[in-house]
Amino acid sequence: MTSGRVDINAIQFVRIVDIPGNGSFLDATEDLIFDFWPTARPTVTSGGFDLEASGVINVI
């Protein structure tokens, strides 16, 4: 929400997009996204975001 015109109570879906954190993508304010997280297999088994743990709080 950047303009203050989003009805938070009306949000039904959220899209999660996996991008590389190497600066090749921009955020909502046109800043480069740098989020380096080592994911070289087989030593690292996590990409830093646990999608299975995402859930809903305060379901109406």
CA distance 35 to 51: 17
Phi/psi region, residue 30 (left: phi>0; alpha: psi -120 to 50; beta: rest), is: left
CA distance 28 to 41: 31
**Which pLDDT belongs to residue 9?**
82
Question: Comparing 34 with 57, which gets the higher pLDDT?
Answer: 34
**Which pLDDT belongs to residue 38?**
62
- 1-55 residue pLDDT tens: 566 788 888 888 888 888 888 899 999 899 999 877 666 666 666 666 666 666 6
**Which pLDDT belongs to residue 25?**
92
Domain boundaries, the chain: 12-48
> 23-60: string of b/e by CB count within 10 Å (b at 16+)?
eeeeeeeeeeeeeeeeeeeeeeeeeeeeeeeeeeeeee
What is the pTM for the complete model shown?
0.47
